[in-house]
Amino acid sequence: MRINGERLISSIRAMGSVGFNPETGGRTRLALTDEDKAGRDLLCRWMRDEGLEVKIDEIGNIFGIREGSDPSELPVMMGSHIDTVRDAGMFDGVYGVLGGLEVIRTLNENEVTPKSSLVVAAFTNEEGARFQPDMMGSLYYARKVELGELLSSRDDSGITVGEELDRIGYGGAYSTPVGCYLELHVEQGPRLHAEGVSIGIVEGVQGLAWWTGEYYGESNHAGSTPMEMRKDTLLAVAELALEAEKLALSLGRGSVATMGRIAPRPDIINIVPGKCSFTLDFRQFDGELFEEGKREVEKLIVSCAARRGLKYCFKKAAEAAPVIFDRGMVELVGSRAAFLGLDSMKMISGASHDAQFLSSFCPTVMIFVPSVGGRSHCPEEWTDVKDLENGCNVLLHSVLELV
């Protein structure tokens, strides 16, 4: 049995035309906007056309359910998200949802009814581009956060998630259980494309820790303050950035450290910066190395201030432990890729995905396909049709083993 690659790509294109901007070549379906509603309406129509029962839960997650022959079996869920960032490509998230729908279409066409029910899920606000936190739908589905807290989250103009769910008619009351979860996704990184490998078997998602901090020194005249008498906070932050790079390289095994925001104050050409705020992002997959990296980062923040006699403050702004996907599910995907004659490699996801919350309570795995040049979250995001087809066939055959 094989999925229909042309049908899959034509659905992805149709969804990609919702919110499309011909001037940028990207599409924008920020969560719970009119464009997101139009995408949701299209998806629900396609689900009903395939005979799926559509359920919407309290946070607006959409579940399309195909009943199995044995109601005592827990459903196999496939899914991802259809909301986008601003001027996005057409594959991020959409591929996982419409790939799941394509599996259903293939089973319908072949008149196969397995014992387990199958569910195609589209989780609300994965991107977090309009409302925080990101991955809101899967966070709620996994009961990691109270519903009230999510419904009261506001966008920049003060509108809440709850108000927008009511307005677009996607605040529901019905959910569905899950037995295991598979998420098909474009890699959004360069590895598969660079190495010419068709399938990435994702073993987990790396841990992430974010800090925000500030150094306090002395603002002073740039002409009359001798170098040895300065308390220049920007120089300390510059040292911290270089030390963080050294740390990530010395820890190795894929450790990455990034200082993405630096703001010297008063931010004037002829004044020694007396204050400088910064952010630091550290990621690593291995649990022990992640802990070690976090400890070392905090030591560096302190020592770089001390070296120049500065005061400092810092706090952890976000933290997510590394996620390890189910061994059995990982092996299953590998064996199905081999069965289909496709080359594959095991890898860790650098980006966060809905799958990481699902994996906290059911066996979960992700399947990656190459992103050309590793580009994503931009109109240039691209995956070749053959790769889309291959990934979806691996999903189909993995699902067939699970039902």
Which residues in 226-265 contact Zn ion (CB under 5 A)?
Answer: none
Distance CA 56, CA 280 (A): 38
Tell me the window of 64-72, 84-92, 98-106, 287-295 that interacts with Zn ion (CB under 5 A). 84-92
Instruction: Print the binding letters for residues 326-365 with Zn ion: x by CB under 5 A, - otherwise.
Output: ----------------------------------------
Alpha-carbon torsion, ordered 161, 165, 168, 173, to 10 deg: 170
Burial readout 358-382 (b: 16 or more C-beta within 10 A, e: otherwise): bbeebbbbbbbbbbbeebbbebebb
Instruction: Determine which residue in the list 92, 134, 164, 187 makes contact with Zn ion, applying CB under 5 A.
Output: 92
Listed ranges 32-40, 90-98, 146-154, 195-203: which one lies at the site for Zn ion (CB under 5 A):
90-98
Minimum gap (Å) between residue 124 Cβ and Zn ion: 13
Number of residues located near Zn ion, criterion CB under 5 A: 2
> SS3 sequence, 340-402?
CCCCEEEEEECCCCCHHHHCCCCCEEEEEECCHHHCCCCCCCCCCHHHHHHHHHHHHHHHHHH
Angle between helices 385-402 and 327-339 (to 10 degrees): 120
Comparing CB distances to Zn ion, the nearer of 104 and 186 is 186
For tokens 């709620």, name the residue. Answer: 140
Nearer to Zn ion, 93 or 274 (CB): 93
User: Which of residues 97 and 236 has its CB atom nearest to Zn ion in the complex?
Assistant: 97
Scanning 87-95, 97-105, 171-179, 385-393 for contacts with Zn ion by CB under 5 A, the matching segment is 87-95
| Closest to Zn ion by CB, 93 or 189 | 93
Stretch that binds Zn ion, among 86-94, 175-183, 261-269, 336-344 (CB under 5 A): 86-94
Contact pick of 68, 93, 207, 391 for Zn ion (by CB under 5 A): 93
DSSP-derived secondary structure letter, 52? P
* Of 355 and 399, CB closest to Zn ion: 355
CB of 117 to Zn ion, least distance (A): 25
Report which residue's Cβ sits closest to Zn ion. Answer: 93
Residues 6+ away with beta carbon under 8 Å from 298: 211, 314
Q: Find the shortest distance in angstroms from Cβ 136 to Zn ion.
A: 13
Q: How far is the CB of 310 from Zn ion (least distance, A)?
A: 40
Residues in CB range of 288: below 8 A, 6 or more apart = none
Q: Does 391 bind Zn ion (CB under 5 A)?
A: no
- Which are the contacts of 5, defined by CB distance < 8 A and separation ≥ 6? 385, 386, 388, 389, 392
134 vs 389 by CB, closer to Zn ion:
134
Distances in whole angstroms, Cα of residue 381 to Cα of each of 62, 90, 185, 386: 25, 7, 12, 16
Q: Which residues bind Zn ion (CB under 5 A)?
A: 92-93
